[in-house]
Amino acid sequence: MTLLEERLKGSVRRGSIPVLETKRLVLRAPRLEDAKAIAALANDRRIAENTACIPNPYTLSDAEAFVENANTGDQDAVFVITLREQTIIGACAITPQDQAGELGYWLGVPYWGKGYATEALHAVIDHAFTDLGYAALQAGARVTNPASRRVLEKCGFQWTGVGLYRIRAINSSAPIDRFRLERGIWSALKDWRRARKVTS
Ligand SMILES: CC(C)(COP(=O)(O)OP(=O)(O)OC[C@H]1O[C@@H](n2cnc3c(N)ncnc32)[C@H](O)[C@@H]1OP(=O)(O)O)[C@@H](O)C(=O)NCCC(=O)NCCS
């Protein structure tokens, strides 16, 4: 494949990433002009130490590389999360792994504790099951990260066990709680939420 074909393939894939809207948020494909805002938020140990791949310190070139590589894999779906007035507050991604979608996410510290992660994940999970056709989703949270665990539980994920995973920012491995959400559970929870809205 020539360089031009490679670039075209990337741009076609980027174009196919939809814009997901929630009550307070917009999720869209990252753009190069987002890199500065992404770097400013992601350059924080509290984020890096709770994710597998985010380095610390996290520089503008790290953010540019993140944007350049986003959505270039055949089945990757990488989003920045913004407020409705377009301020970038974080990012999330679904990547295929072990015949399921692996979910990763982070928010800038000023935006923690407002329900944004749960709201964003609901939209990404709906997209993964409805449009991307996944049969199951998986995610991990460090055993020392109760906020992430709670987000996953609020989205219907169930604990499946503990594993040891490499964390780039600490240059070491750490125990991670693993979670899984099957399509059937997601669908039942959606029906339940819909019914509750109708009757309340
Ligand atoms: C994990 C993270 C995404 C959560 O974002 P958030 O927007 O604050 O999450 P939400 O507000 O939607 O939900 C957080 C939940 O955790 C709970 N929580 C927060 N800190 C907690 C703690 N120390 N102990 C127990 N529960 C806690 C909150 O009360 C809330 O639950 P509730 O709605 O039942 O009250 C954010 O903290 C983050 O980016 N962390 C660093 C990166 C990371 O951990 N990524 C996930 C692993 S890939």
Answer yes or no: is pLDDT of 97 > 70: yes
Candidate from 148, 152, 168, 170 with most ligand 1 atoms within 8 A of CB, to mutate: 148
Candidate from 107, 137, 145 with most ligand 1 atoms within 8 A of CB, to mutate: 107
Indicate if ligand 1 lies below 6 Å from the C-beta of 174. no
Q: Which class for 133: exposed (0-12), middle (13-18), buried (19 or more C-beta within 10 A)?
A: exposed
pLDDT (average), residues 109-136: 97
Q: What's the DSSP call for residue 29? A: -
CA 52 to ligand 1: nearest atom: 48
CA 151 to ligand 1: nearest atom: 13
Q: Does domain 3-199 have CATH number 3.40.630.30?
A: yes
**Packed helices 116-130 and 146-154: angle between N→C axes, nearest 10 degrees:** 50
State how beta strands 136-142 and 100-107 pair: parallel
CA 154 to ligand 1: nearest atom: 34
Both tokens assigned to 144: 């020392």
Q: What pLDDT shows up at residue 4? A: 38
List the chain domain ranges: 3-199
Q: What is the pLDDT of residues 129-174, one digit of tens each?
A: 999 999 999 999 999 999 999 999 999 999 999 999 999 999 999 9
Candidate from 150, 152, 166, 176 with most ligand 1 atoms within 8 A of CB, to mutate: 150
Indicate if ligand 1 lies below 6 Å from the C-beta of 24. no
Cα dihedral 33, 34, 37, 39, rounded to 10, equals -100
- Side-chain-side CA neighbours of 42 within 13 Å: the count stands at 29
Both tokens assigned to 37: 């805002």
User: Any bridge partners for residue 21, and if so which?
Assistant: 26
CA 118 to ligand 1: nearest atom: 12
Both tokens assigned to 181: 């959400």
Q: What is the pLDDT of residues 31-52, one digit of tens each?
A: 999 999 999 999 999 999 999 9
Q: What pLDDT shows up at residue 197? A: 82
Q: What are the CA-CA distances from residue 4 to residues 9, 74, 77 (Å)?
A: 9, 17, 22
Answer yes or no: is pLDDT of 3 > 50: no
Write the DSSP assignment of 74-136 as a string of letters: TT-EEEEEEETT--EEEEEEEEEETTEEEEEEEE-GGGTTSSHHHHHHHHHHHHHHHTS--SE
Q: What pLDDT shows up at residue 75? A: 82
Q: Rounded to the nearest whole angstrom, what is the distance from the C-alpha of residue 5 to the centroid of ligand 1?
A: 41
